[in-house]
Chains A and B, each alone.
Chain A
Amino acid sequence: MAVCVSVIAKQNYPLYIKTVPMEKQLKFHYTVHTSLDVVEEKISAVGKALVDQRELYLGLLYPTEDYKVYGYVTNTKVKFIIVVDSSNIALRDNEIRSMFRKLHNSYTDIMCNPFYTPGEPIQSTVFDNLVSGMMVQVC
């Protein structure tokens, strides 16, 4: 269902990006990178209001002609970005949310791993499998 799943560090550099198909990798890198503009703006807007009651799910960041970009920010400002094909209208908001939740849980597991240094690219196979599962589900 997703065509691109990425995890972005607090400092906005990529920790993990997986895209389908591989040929469009560069394009999706750009898509994810540009979507950070909206994420940053949303975070700063929320920051002014209630900080602790912040909703982690940021919703649809912006629609392009072909793709929809969704965002999610953890409390430590790690961002998850999912890119979905625009033609996939069957996908509901709730499903996107649950994808993010799964990603967040798995990411928490990675962080619990004492052999992982925060801020390094994610190489966990468990995480990779989870993401692959999200990507092939409908494709």
Chain B
Amino acid sequence: MSSTQWDFPLELCCRPMAFVALTGLDVIYNAVHRAIWDAFCANRRADRVPISFKVLPGDHEYPKCRQKRMSYEWYIPKGILKTGWMNKHLNLVPALVVVFYELDWDEPQWKEKQSECATRVEIVRQSLQGRNAKVAVVLIQKKTPLPPGEDLIASERAAALCNACDLSGKSLFVLPHTDHLVGYIIRLENAFYEHTQTYYYTEIRRVKSHKEFLNKTTHQLLFVRHQFKTAFFSELKQDTQNALKNYRTAYNLVHELRAHETNMLEIKTMAGFINYKICRLCFQHNAPLDAIAQFRKHVDLCKKKIGSAELAFEHAAWMSKQFQAFGDLFDEAIKLGLTAIQTQNPGFYYQQAAYYAQERKQLANHLCNHDTSTTYPSPDLLETPAGVLDFFGQRPWRQSHQSIEPPDPEKEKVGILALQLKEREVDHSELIITLLSNAVAQFKRYKCPRMKSHLMVQMGEEYYNAKDYSKALKLLDYVMFDYRSERWWKLLTSILNTALKCAYLMAQVKDYITYSLELLGRSSTQKEEQKSRIEKNLLKVLMNESPDPEPECDSKAVKTAQKLWADRVSLAGSNVFTIEMQDYVPFVECKARFLAPSFHVDVPVQLHVYLKADCPHPFRFSKLCVSFNNQEYNQYCVVEETYQSSDILEASAQGTMCLVPGKTRKYVFKFVARTEDVGKKVEITSVDLVLGSDTGRCVVLNWRGGGGDAASCQEALQATRSFRRRPKLPDNEVDWESVTIQASTMVISRVPKISVRLRHEPPALTNEMYCLVVNVQSQEPTTAKDVKLTAGLKPGQDANLTQTTHVTLNGTEMCDDSHPALLPDIPIGDLQPGEKVEKPLFVRCGQVGTRIFLVHVSYVITTVVEGKEIVCKCHKDETITIETVVPFDVAAKFVSAKFEHMDRVFADIPFLLMVDILSASPWGLTIVTSKMQLAPSMASVDQTESQLDQVILQTGESASECFCLQCPPAPNGQSGVASGHYIISWKRSSAVQSVPVVSTVVTLPHVIVDSIPLYVHADLPSFGRVRESLPVKYCLQNRTKLVQDVEIFVEPNESFMFSGLKQIRLRILPDTEQDLLYNFYPLMAGYQQLPGLNISLPRFPEVTNQLLRRFLPTHIFVKPQGRQADEVIVVAA
């Protein structure tokens, strides 16, 4: 029996296809025949009919057909299914035999050829003897046949040939050997397929016809057999629905069989076969749930059918095979497009198969533990004369036997012994591992990482059992990480134990130490006495001795291991191992912390390293050292055997280099940071703890950063959540949980002892030279050297601000764009203790807004730390925010000579420009002078000297001045005319004399200039007097190039009498003027309305009286008749 005894036979697992035998083809020497055969076999894709072809010689002997039984009355079946039956119908007994024969319709020697063909057909019929297989003839012809009915000779000869060969017309085919060979072949195939269908149909009928002869008592086996055969023929016929139906019936019939110990294996074997077929067809019909349900039913029915107790391993093997086969079917269905899910995938079946394989192994170990003296029985009862069994699932030593009791108890015993001894030779581990790795692949695909890990552990353990320790270690090492990171300590401990055994048996020193470290650690659930044993072993290894063997190891393997260890001991070199602690949960914990997150450079950096051991016994280490990112500091942080210090807590009897379980040890280090490292981070890159010595073995436990291992992160988190009171410890002890890691610290510059004060008067005014006085006073005990000042706009603000801000030290000149926004490193020199320096700065801000200014004072000073003289750079920063505002608002407006607001001016007629300056500055402003800069289109009527010289404006006050201007007519089409600029020169009232004056230029608004055809103005005294004559002259100017008609009419009013022309019509020549003289005689005192002058221009109706009246005064002040003195004044006027 081979290990493949449990495998399903190939013919069961393949897809049954109709079998067609081709004869008369010489595929070796005849090229035409070869081409025909190739066309049959090549490219058999799914779209072609499912037929398996075989070329056989014409006189091939087919399996003999046994005499058909006419009565089953005395027949006792010997088994369920013959081993050869399926193969026979798949590969030996054809459904159709095709005779190929080269014959053209116009063959000259027709008669001879026809009879030769008939002979060939006859030979085939002879060899088929009693089989129902059909025979067909294919004529290979060189010529393309004519369409049917046109070739008279052909149809005649065809009929003759059919007659001669005893064939029906449907079984005769013509194959012209032309270009379209494949097409003809496909048509032929389809015809063959129909024939095979008929053949299998009759076979099914034949098998079914036996049924009526059977009776339920003696022929139970035959019911199953016939049902199976019917189903199998249906499959050959490609009628899978009926096949499934028949297999299901067969399956039920198998379980109706009377089962006893002798035929249990046969029943289970057949049940397994049928179940396989059912599941396979269900998957094929895309009904995976049916398949799964069938399989579950199958397993439930068969689980308890163990059979002979002495051969219980056979049952486990069979179960394993069932699951494996189902897994394979499932997997295959998935490859063809079925989708599986996480909880229902082939992996589970492989896993279960592996489980049964493990059970098989256990049972085999238990049942087959015969003495080595037990010899394999001879003669070998497991050998059969034919080499194979007659029936599936029977015992070789009692084939065809169907009674309940074994025929020969002695023989039975020997047979069982032979089977047991055979079983001992089976490599169970390999089987288990194969199944497990199948399952792993599946679970990986269906997102089950933990299941995968679990199976890998099992694989590892199986490799361990199979003594393949290196593979075992590889697998276990791989999954340990997952269990560690998920904190399943119990599982991790179990894995570590196996791994430790492997490491011991292979004498892998580093692995051995690593696993021991973790098994001794706090996460390990190992029992205390085991931990104690492991620690002792670890100490032995560190002292370069062999450890004691691990318990429960194979004694032979232990012997080899001991030798290996002995070799290791004698071997010198490579005895230093570095183990990275953050990947494990070791038995020593480490936390390193700087006492502060930053240290000033003139203060020593302090560092504490805490160590705690979790192992059962105290142990000694040889060295503790800390590495930094700057390696210069490493030398200051080393504890070695020679280290003697009072800094260590609790001077125990074992000394400073010994860690006592459960106690926290503190080691203190101190060093002076280098001045180059100011502003840099000092980081702990690693903490190394060295166990053992250079003479023996040396293990470096390496903690990256400030300590902490795979579990400490979670523990720290847990500690912060906990509200538990810290245990009260004596002053010299430390609670481990309250220590936090601080792996880096900043070295920062020394605190400056210097004061920087700023004096200024905010806010700044636009464009002024704003004065900022910096006051530096040293409070250092020694001389501050190389004092430098950097001042100006703080970098990193809006670029616009940078461009409009200028800083200078020179306050006597206006600064321009060439000056920077920040003045760096202005040397101040040395400052003696207590000395004070004042430095004025001038800032010009071109735009309003808020600016942040920075004043940075730096210096160098020498100081002593820990007896070491160091040169420190100190600096102090001050920032201030300065607002810039406009000093004043300027408003300009145009008014008429009567101070009436005007939105436009008239050409050549004088008007006034009023300028108002409103101070917005909180400080007093001095207006040094002001100046009008007229545009060429404007002309001044009188002097334009400033009226505001040296005026001082306080907040909210305003100053005004006005200028009388005149404007020539504007060029045609241009209504707006620029009026010019107004320049104000000013400074802060409080500013010192040397500060330059600021000139602010204001652009005056444009004005619209209109021309007017007639200008009129009055010439009259400034006041009148009651009952005294008041001479008035109206002057009319023609401003056009035309003669103008003017109608004038004076409206009398009650305040005045007057003499002169009351109504007049006159003509004025171009560019000339006409005077009208009147004598008004005021009647009433006070501010009186003058008699109105109505002017109308018939030529220019748009120039209304209203418009012209604006040029004329409307009122005059009339004084009452007074004393003599007044008269004198009148005379004088």
Footprint of B on A, CB under 8 Å? Answer: 11-14, 17, 25-26, 29-30, 33-34, 36-38, 41, 61-62, 64-65, 114-115, 117-120
Contact = CB atoms under 8 A, between A and B. Distances in A.
A44 B14 CA distance: 41
Interface in B709-732: 714, 717-718, 721-724
Given A117-B721, A119-B718, A34 B494 contact: no
Contacts of B348: 62, 64
B724 A61 contact: no
B1038 to A, nearest CB: 95
B450 interface: yes
Nearest to A45: B342
B343 A61 contact: yes
B1006 interface: no
A29 B451 contact: no
A117 B352 contact: no
A25 B352 CA distance: 20
Given A34-B450, A37-B451, A117 B491 contact: no
Contacts of A12: 486
B488 interface: yes
Nearest to A35: B450
Contact of A38 (B343, B355, B724): B343
Contact of A13 (B299, B355, B487, B723): B487
A119 B490 CA distance: 17
Given A14-B490, A26-B494, A120-B718, 11 more contacts: A13-B487, A29-B490, A33-B486, A34-B451, A34-B454, A37-B448, A38-B342, A65-B299, A114-B723, A117-B722, A119-B718
Interface string B851-870: 00000000000000000000
Interface in B271-304: 299
Contacts of B487: 11, 13-14
Contacts of B718: 117, 119-120
- Scoring A36, A62, A65 by chain B CB atoms within 10 A of each residue's CB, the highest score goes to A65
Contact of B491 (A33, A62, A64, A119): A33
B722 A13 contact: no
Contacts of B454: 30, 33-34
Contacts of A33: 450, 454, 486, 488, 491
Nearest to A66: B355
Interface in B924-965: none
Interface size class of B (residues with CB under 8 A): 20 to 34
Given A117-B718, A118-B721, A62 B488 contact: no
A45 to B, nearest CB: 10
Interface string B353-388: 001000000000000000000000000000000000
A30 B721 contact: no
Contacts of A120: 718, 722
- Identify whether the interface residues of A are mostly helix, strand, loop, or mixed: mixed
A109 B486 CA distance: 26
A25 B487 CA distance: 17
A41 B486 contact: no
B449 interface: yes
B670 interface: no
Q: Please list the 4 inter-chain residue pairs (A to B) with the smallest Cβ-Cβ separation, ordered nearest first.
A: A13-B487, A37-B448, A117-B722, A34-B451
Nearest to B722: A117
A30 B491 CA distance: 7
Interface string B833-858: 00000000000000000000000000
Contacts of A62: 343, 348
B211 interface: no
A64 B296 CA distance: 11
A37 to B, nearest CB: 4
A34 B486 CA distance: 12
Nearest to A30: B454
Interface string B592-613: 0000000000000000000000
A121 to B, nearest CB: 10
Contacts of A26: 490-491, 494
Nearest to B483: A33
Interface string B484-512: 00111011001000000000000000000
Contacts of A36: 450
Nearest to B451: A34
A37 B454 CA distance: 11
A38 B352 CA distance: 18
Contact of A65 (B342, B352, B449, B491): B352
A55 to B, nearest CB: 17
27 contacts: A11-B486, A11-B487, A11-B714, A12-B486, A13-B487, A13-B488, A14-B487, A25-B490, A29-B490, A29-B491, A30-B454, A30-B457, A30-B491, A33-B454, A34-B448, A34-B450, A34-B454, A36-B450, A37-B342, A61-B343, A64-B352, A65-B355, A117-B721, A119-B717, A119-B721, A120-B718, A120-B722
Contacts of A17: 490
B978 to A, nearest CB: 72
Interface in B300-351: 342-343, 348
